[in-house]
A and B are shown apart, each in its own frame.
Chain A
C-alpha cells in the first residue's frame, strides 16, 4: 500500500513537470516558435454611446517577430501596418505614420499584441502583470497594466488561444467600452 502510494507519488512527481509545465514560460516558448501566418478577423467594439457594437472584418498577416498587417475590408477599407516601431494607417487615400518610439503609451498598447504574438515575455512584463489559466490546448492569458498611464486607457487585456495560435484578444478600456478581436487562421498548418 505504502509502496504503491510512494510509487504513485513518484509518478506524480515525475509527471508533474510535464503536466504543470504549461506555465507562462512554455506558452511564450510556443508562441515564439510561431513564425507567422494569415488569418481572418472579426472585431466587435462595444461602445456605451452606441446601441449596437461596431463590427469590422478583414484579414491579418503576421510575420515574426515585428511585422503585423491588419487589412480591414468592412465597413471601410483601411490598412494598418505595424513594422518595427512604425505604425502606419491608410484610409481614404490618407496616410498617417506614427513612430511609436515617440509615444510610450501607444507603444505599450501595441506591445501587448506584439509581445503576445512573438512570445516576448520581457516586453509584456515591462508594462503588464501576466496571469495564465488553462492548458496548452486552451489557454487564457490576462494582462493587467502596471503603469498608471496605460491603466488610464485600458483596464485589462485578455488573450485566448490554443497551442501557439492566438484566437481572441479582448480589450477592456478604462471607460468600460471594450473590443473583441476574433482571429481565424486561414492556414492553421502554418503555425507549427
Chain B
C-alpha cells in the first residue's frame, strides 16, 4: 500500500470510528414525532401535547370475548382487581357498580361548594321556595327517584344540579354488572396507563402487563383478549419500522452485493465498491443525530434506497476507469458525476427546509449520505484500490445496449403520445389524485384501524375532538379562567350549539368561587327562619329539613377544597388531566361534546366552529378542533412539500442551466425526466394508489436521481457523433448503476410503512424510466 493510500485509509478509518461512536450514542425513535410539526402554531401545540401526553393518548380499550357472559364478567372483575394494584395503571374502569361510590360521596359532601346553582339568591326566601318546589316537582318524575332519599338533606337539589352537568350521554352497554359491547358478546374495560402516550416503552410494558395479567386471571384459554388504543398503535408501528429497517436494508444490500459480484467477479472490487456506501450510510445517521438529536426509525429505513444510490459512484469509477486509468477518469468523468451529485443534493437538500420533521431528516440523511459516498469514491477509493484495478472488461455488453437504444429511439413518438395520454389522465383526475389527510402516512393497518373503531364504538370511548384550551400563570387564575369560559359554554349548551363540556373547575372550583359560594350560605338560625317562611304552604314541612340546615352550616365552617381533597376518587384523575402544569404555567383543557342528535344513531353531529369561536372570543380560551388541526397540518405539509419540490426542481434546473450553458441541451436533458415523472404518477394513479405528499417528494427525487443518467447521455452526446459511438464502458456502468438504484428504491416499495412505500414505488420505476427515456431522446453532437 502506498503512503497516500495509507494516509487516506487512516483518515477514513478515524472518521468512521468517530461516526460509529456518535451513532452508538444516538437516540433512535420510532414514534409519531416523525409526523408532528417542528414549529407548531398554538392550535397545533395543543394537538401535539394531546397526542404525546393527553388522557386520550393513554387510554387502552380492552375487550374480553368467548365463553359465557358470567365467565366474561368474572374475568373482567378479576382483571380490574389485578391491574388496579399495579403502578403502571392509573385507572381501570369496567362499569362495576359501587366503583363510583367514592365520587358520589365526594360530590354530595361538598355540594354547596361545587354546585353552580349556589348563589345568594338561592338561599333567600323566594329562592328556597322555588328550589324546593322544583325538587318536589322532580319527585313526580322517575328521574326524581334518586333524589327522594336525599330530599331532607338536599331539598334544593344541588346533587341533581351537579350530576346534570356531567356526561350523562353515552354509557356503555352492560351485562352481568360490567360493561359489555353493544351486542353483549364481549366484556369491555377502559384502562388509563401511567405512561404517557409518547412513552412507547411504557406503553409496551403496560400492554404486556394487561396480556400477562389476563392470562393469569382467565386461565384455560376459553376467553380471549383484544386490546386497542393509541399506545398499541405506537408499539406496533415501532415494531413494524424496526423489523422493516433491518429487513429492507438487508434485502437491498444482498441484492446489490449480488449484482456487484456478478459484474465484477472479484471479492476485492466488490468490498471496495461497498466502501462509499457504508461511509455514506454512516454519515447520514451521524449528520441527523448531530443536527436533530434523535434519529427516526423511518429515516434509517430510507437507508436501503441510499445504498442503491450511493453505490453508483463506485460503479462508475470501477467500470469507467478500468480501461483508461484513474487520472483519465477524473478528468473525463468526474465533472459529470460531480454535477450529478449536486443535482441529487439539490433534490434532497430542498427537504431540509420542511416543517415536517420526518421529511427534513430524510433530506439531511440522504444529502449527507450521497455527498459522503461521492467524496469517498473520489478521494479514498482510488488510493485504496491502487492503479491496477483488475477490472473485468465489460465492453462486450456495450453493443447490445446500443441495439436497445436504437429500438428505444424508434419509439420516440409512441412514448411522447403515451406521456400525453398520461398527462391527460392526470389532468382529468386532478381532483381525485391526492389522499385528503394525514392518515395516508399512518403505519396503522386497515385491520387494526377497524378493530380500534369497533372497540371505540362498543365502549363509547371519548375521542376528544373538540377542546377549548386556556393558559394561565398559576392554578388559581387558571381555574378562574376555566369558570369564566364555562359560563360562556353554558350559554352555548342552552342554545344547543354544544352538548356539554368537561371542566376541572367542576370538581375543583377556584378559591374565589368557593369563597363566593360559601358567602352565599346563611347562618343556621337565619336559614331556619327563611325555610320556615318559604315552606309555609309547601307539602314539605321545614321541620323535616334539620339535616339540610346542619349540612349548610358545616359547609360554612369547612375549609377550602384543594387538589388533595380529591385524593381517593377518580375525580382527582379527571382534574389532573384537565388542569396541567407546564413549564410556562398552567393549562386548562375543556373538552367539548357535540350536541346530541335527534335520534339514537345520530351521534356524529359536528360542533359548529364559528359560534364557539365567537362565544369564547376575549375569554383567552383557544378553541381547537383536533380533526380540523390534523387536516390543516397535513394540508400545510402538502402545500409546503409542493413548494419545496418546486424549489428543488428550480434549483436543479438552475444548476444545469449554468453548467450546460445551452437551452437546447437543457431541454433535451429535462424532457426525459419530466416524461418519467408524468408516466410514473399516471401509472400509480391507474394502479389505484392514492397519492400523498411522499409521492410528491418522490417526483422531485425522480428528477434529482434521474438527472445523473441524463447527464451522462448529455455528456456522451457532446463527445460522439451519435449514440453508436458512445463509450461502451460508460453505457455499461450506467446500466449497472441504474439497476442498483432501482433495487435500492424498489426495496422501499415492499415496505408497509407508507412514507417509505410511496418513495419506493415512485422513484424505483422513475429511475429506470429516466435512464430509458434519456437513452431514447439522446441527441447527436450539433444536431437534433
Contact = CB atoms under 8 A, between A and B. Distances in A.
Interface of A: 43, 45, 47, 49-56, 72, 75-76, 78, 80, 86, 89, 91, 93-97, 99, 101-103, 177
Given A43-B140, A54-B139, A97 B600 contact: yes
Interface of A is mostly: strand
B148 interface: yes
Contacts of B399: none
A88 B503 CA distance: 26
B539 A50 contact: yes
A94 B163 CA distance: 12
B133 to A, nearest CB: 9
A96 B143 contact: yes
Given A54-B539, A94-B168, A96-B168, A45 B139 contact: yes
B600 A49 contact: no
A51 B600 contact: no
Contact of B541 (A51, A95, A102): A51
Given A47-B139, A49-B544, 17 more contacts: A45-B139, A47-B148, A49-B148, A51-B539, A51-B540, A52-B539, A54-B539, A76-B138, A80-B141, A80-B142, A89-B141, A89-B142, A93-B496, A96-B168, A99-B174, A102-B174, A177-B148
B600 A101 contact: no
A75 B140 contact: yes
Contacts of B494: 93
Contact of B600 (A53, A86, A102): A86
A70 to B, nearest CB: 9
Nearest to B596: A95
B143 A89 contact: yes
Contacts of B142: 80, 89
A149 to B, nearest CB: 12
Residue among B141, B174, B180 facing the most chain A CB atoms (10 A cut-off): B141
B141 A91 contact: yes
19 contacts: A45-B139, A47-B139, A47-B148, A49-B148, A49-B151, A49-B540, A50-B540, A52-B539, A54-B539, A72-B140, A76-B140, A76-B141, A86-B600, A89-B142, A91-B141, A93-B494, A101-B184, A102-B175, A177-B148
Nearest to B544: A49
Nearest to A92: B164
A139 to B, nearest CB: 26
A54 B184 CA distance: 39
Contacts of B139: 45, 47, 50, 54
Contacts of B164: 94
Nearest to B139: A54
B149 to A, nearest CB: 8
Residue among B164, B496, B539 facing the most chain A CB atoms (10 A cut-off): B539
Contact of A102 (B136, B173, B496, B596): B173
B683 interface: no
A71 to B, nearest CB: 12
A50 B136 contact: yes
Nearest to A98: B171
A89 B138 CA distance: 12
Nearest to B148: A47
Nearest to A50: B539
Contact of A78 (B141, B540, B600): B141
A52 B139 CA distance: 12
Residue among B142, B174, B175, B184 facing the most chain A CB atoms (10 A cut-off): B142
B404 to A, nearest CB: 72
Nearest to A55: B140
B152 interface: yes
Range of interface residues on chain B? 20 to 34
Interface string B123-146: 000000000000011111111000
Given A54-B136, A96-B168, A49 B152 contact: yes
Interface string B583-599: 00000000000001000
Contacts of A94: 164, 168
A99 B138 CA distance: 22
B501 to A, nearest CB: 15
A69 B175 CA distance: 26
Nearest to B151: A49
Contacts of A54: 136-137, 139-140, 539
Contacts of B496: 93
Interface string B141-166: 11100001001100000000000100
Contacts of A89: 141-143
A48 B403 CA distance: 107
A99 B173 contact: yes
Contacts of A86: 600
Given A51-B540, A75-B137, A96-B168, A91 B143 contact: yes
A80 B143 CA distance: 10
A177 B139 CA distance: 12
The 10 closest A-B pairs by CB, nearest first: A102-B174, A52-B539, A56-B140, A50-B539, A75-B137, A54-B140, A51-B539, A76-B137, A54-B139, A78-B141
Contacts of B136: 50, 54
A101 B181 CA distance: 12
Nearest to A106: B142
A45 B141 CA distance: 10
A85 B137 CA distance: 26
Contacts of B600: 86, 97
Contacts of B143: 78, 89, 91, 96
Nearest to A56: B140
A53 B184 CA distance: 41
Nearest to B164: A94
Contacts of A177: 148
A91 B168 CA distance: 13
Contacts of A101: 173, 175, 184
Interface string B537-549: 0011100100000
Interface in B535-575: 539-541, 544
Nearest to A76: B137
Nearest to B174: A102
A101 B185 CA distance: 13
A161 B432 CA distance: 67
A96 B600 CA distance: 11
A52 B537 CA distance: 11
Contacts of A93: 494, 496
Contacts of A91: 141, 143
A102 B173 CA distance: 6
Interface string B164-201: 10001000011100001000100000000000000000
Nearest to B541: A51
Interface string B444-483: 0000000000000000000000000000000000000000
B70 to A, nearest CB: 13
B142 to A, nearest CB: 7
